[in-house]
A and B are shown apart, each in its own frame.
Chain A
Amino acid sequence: MAAKKIDTSSFPKLALQFRKEILEILNLAGSGHPGGSLSAVEIFITLYYYRMNHRPSDPQWDERDRLIISKGHCTPVAYVTLANCGYFPKDELKTYRKFNSRLQGHVHSKVPGIEFSTGSLGHGLAVANGIALGAKMLKKNFKTYCLLGDGENQEGSIWEAAMMAPHYKLDNICAIIDYNKVQENGPTNEIKRLEPLSAKWTSFGWQVLEVDGHDFQQLIRALDEFDTIKEKPTVIIANTIKGKGVSFMEGQASWHGKAPNAEQLAKALAELK
């Protein structure tokens, strides 16, 4: 598939808006995961506004591309994206993490547009592989994407799944690693080294594409390239910054799973202009 004729000039502005909304709903919720949401904003925008075929008015449309969110804690960016796409009213974002809300703390399929409920790490890739294998058997043309955290690469189940997709030549799946290099208690490569990450995935039989995960044009080029790769799966290693866009959150493990208070929110919003 060739590059899509989509005007991407609004994307940087959209990213700024998403970051603000992410922080606002986290502040309202009083808990949640800002770091790994802010790092994945450009990935979500590129998928939902550029690459994926999807219909917000018909979330179960059979031909839609699928995104399995394996890093299920990144609900702020996922829900903000879906609400802005029109999957559910934006006003509902205020109920995030509240009792009786559909917007559960970790992604849940009762939210329109969420394909699969996750939360425990290391689950998404095998499920995405199953969907991609099923699509091949049914001769369906949609693509399956799977968003992984970097810390999640420490789970053995990720590598079981990493071995599966190349074996079945699943060229209709694209994993994207939000490589923000920080996990809950510190730098990922200090806690349990992933490097050489690209070589690991290559050695498992994946086409590896490394990009700056905050650069829309690089993300677009990689996602376009995925469409041209045959007989093997693709993984995009998106180098990102945890907490991207907020100076006091960037690269800080302490902002993995903590909501900003009113003062911190005001300070962050002032930076996002």
Chain B
Amino acid sequence: MSEMIPTRDGFGKEIVELGKANDKILVLSGDLEDATRAEYFKKAFPERFFNLGIAEQDMVGTAAGLSQQGFIPFACSFAVFLTNRAYDMIRLDVCYNNLNVKIVCSHAGVTVGEDGASAQCLEDFALMRVLPNIRVICPVDAIEVRKATRLLAEQKGPMYMRTSRAPFPVITKETDVFKIGKANILREGSDVTLIGCGIMVYESLQAAEILKKEGIEARVINMHTIKPIDEEIIIDSAKKTQAIITAEEHQVYGGLGSAVAEVLAKNYPAPMETIAVQDTFGETGSPQELLKKYHLKDIDIVQAAKKVIKRKKK
């Protein structure tokens, strides 16, 4: 199996590289830089790192003010604390004022693990996606997160990026093209399309292997950008395979599944099933135990794929 690395590590490494080339890059932390890997930047550039304490609202407002002075602030914490606690600041200070602030959050999804439900953010896509001006990104692995971090710094405007705590296999290559808003096809297949984001792309690839053994060919898409969603590839997939599965480590309402359903309903209605947390909070456990319990495993995707194929119009 390929190397296991949490995406937060990739962010931590890349932000240091960016900091070397651009002295306008700042990192703000809500006293979780050890966990978000923002501490790599803290060690490299202490004068451009600010731990604003356990005060996420203050961190986002301060970031907004710093961006007004031409800096590119990366505000980093756990996903729950930024997207939930500081929501009004992200909405008003960052999105309404349309500022060049980057919100980078680790510790999303049930794979946060043993800390339990209070720290397992399952709402961030929904909360961020509904705000005007912001782009919402969830990279698939430690290589892709580095490319995404570079684009966060390069492209102006509010951006949200989710990283994760749990180590997951690296499935992309340095040479793969990464464009915000442009999904990547990782595997071709004509019977069903599996659209995943973050660690669920790996589960989707595993599911495609299982399906292949049963004679079902699945197209697998890495939908790393939740907003703006790649409508073209969704419509193309619906036309080609007539059946869609979405897979995300997020609540079933409002996230990737909803975004894909909106595109299908408007453009090319097709049978669809969603793999996501079913309107419930998580709990304490190991990442793998929780992925199993909340039906976020490859085998769950396989079952959903078989179900959606049965729903295809004859």
- Interface residue ranges, A against B (CB under 8 Å): 68, 109, 115-120, 122-123, 125-135, 137-138, 140, 156-157, 160-161, 163-164
Contacts and interface: CB of A to CB of B under 8 A. Distances in A.
10 contacts: A120-B88, A120-B92, A126-B62, A126-B93, A127-B93, A129-B58, A129-B65, A133-B65, A134-B68, A157-B57
Nearest to A115: B68
Contacts of A138: 69-70
Interface string B97-108: 100000000000
A130 B64 contact: yes
Contacts of A68: 65
Contact of B64 (A119, A120, A122, A127): A127
Contact of B68 (A123, A131, A164): A131
A123 B65 contact: no
B46 interface: no
A123 B55 contact: no
B63 interface: yes
Contact of A119 (B55, B73, B92): B92
Given A126-B57, A160-B55, A163-B53, A117 B92 contact: yes
B216 interface: no
B66 A117 contact: no
B92 A129 contact: no
Interface in B47-102: 50, 52-53, 55, 57-58, 60-71, 73, 88-89, 92-93, 96-97
Contact of A126 (B65, B67, B70, B96): B65
Given A157-B58, A164-B58, A118 B92 contact: yes
B68 A125 contact: no
The listed residue with most A CB atoms (<10 A of its CB), out of B52, B63, B68, is B68
A117 B55 CA distance: 21
Nearest to B91: A120
B92 A130 contact: no
The listed residue with most B CB atoms (<10 A of its CB), out of A116, A119, A130, A135, is A130
Contacts of B92: 117-120, 123
B55 A164 contact: yes
Task: Sort A-B residue pairs by CB-CB distance and give the 7 closest, nearest first.
Answer: A130-B65, A126-B61, A134-B69, A160-B58, A160-B55, A130-B62, A131-B65
Contact of A133 (B66, B70, B89, B93): B66
Contacts of B55: 160, 163-164
Given A123-B89, A126-B58, A138-B70, 18 more contacts: A116-B64, A120-B92, A125-B61, A126-B62, A126-B65, A126-B89, A127-B64, A127-B68, A129-B58, A129-B61, A130-B61, A130-B69, A131-B65, A133-B50, A133-B62, A137-B69, A157-B57, A157-B61
A156 B61 contact: no
A68 B93 CA distance: 12
Contacts of A164: 52-53, 55, 58, 62
B241 to A, nearest CB: 45
Contact of A128 (B57, B60, B63, B65): B65
Nearest to A119: B92
B198 to A, nearest CB: 30
Nearest to A124: B61
Given A117-B97, A123-B89, A131 B69 contact: yes
Given A123-B93, A157-B89, A134 B58 contact: no
A79 B105 CA distance: 38
Contacts of B73: 130
